[in-house]
Amino acid sequence: MRYLAKGIVQEQSTEHILRINHFGSEFVLTGIQAGLWLDARLHIAETDGKNYIEEKELRHLLKMELVEEVEPGPVGEYRALTHCIIVPTQYRGISLPLTSDEKYMLQWISGAGLRLTMAELVYLEEHKLEPTPEWLGEENRQKLTERIYTQDTIFDNILETQMEAAACRDHAVKMVLSLLRKKRILLL
């Protein structure tokens, strides 16, 4: 199974006893569960499916919603990210440098004044909307929302379905996964 970890590691955690906060609930992971979660914290992890105990523990993490299953291929990665909330991390000094595309994506994620979904990020990239002050911040949240959601995209899951077919979908997914790997975002 391919999967991504969701949640925030709490300060009291150790390598063997993880305390994960997910939407205000705290989960304590140890042993195999902790190892599986850590494996997918910064990238898509994969199990070979041969270890029954590992698969069982991974299914338990799925039920707790601490991991998101990722189907094979680019569409599967996009769909998995649409089930996650993408949040910026607190920048703590030295980190891997960002490309201009990663900076573009991070500006939207951290400055939009609302939590943008994967579909919304793809939409912004597809329409080449730049993260300028006129679109960023809480004071422009409504304006940005109205730009993304029109008569054609306002209904449930329409935007997700439309952006699944967008030409820039794979590039946007790649940028989000790269920001995750570089510890600039978290998934919830």
Query: pLDDT 10s digit of each residue in the chain, 188 long?
Result: 999 999 999 988 887 899 999 988 999 999 999 999 999 999 999 998 889 999 999 999 999 999 999 999 999 999 999 999 999 998 676 778 899 999 999 999 999 999 999 999 999 999 999 999 999 999 999 999 999 998 877 777 899 999 999 999 999 999 999 999 999 999 99
- In this structure, what are the phi and psi dihedrals at residue 99, rounded to the nearest 5 degrees? -75, 170
DSSP summary character for residue 87: E
Amino acid identity at 14 = T
Q: First CA to last CA across the chain, in angstroms?
A: 19
- In this structure, what are the phi and psi dihedrals at residue 70, rounded to the nearest 5 degrees? -120, 115
- Of all helices (H) and strands (E), which one includes residue 34? helix 31-39
CA gap 4, 22 in Å, rounded:
14
Which residue ranges make up each domain of the chain? Answer: 2-70, 85-187
Handedness of CA 122, 174, 187, 47 (dihedral sign): positive
Handedness of CA 92, 84, 66, 24 (dihedral sign): positive
What is the full DSSP assignment across 118-186?
HHHHHHHHHTT----TTT-SGGGHHHHHHHH--TTT-STTHHHHHHHT-TTHHHHHHHHHHHHHTTSEE
Nearest to 112 by CA among 92, 85, 91, 94: 85
Strand duo 185-187 + 45-46: pairing: unpaired
CA gap 144, 132 in Å, rounded:
11
Tens of pLDDT along 52-86? Answer: 999 999 999 999 999 999 999 999 999 999 999 99
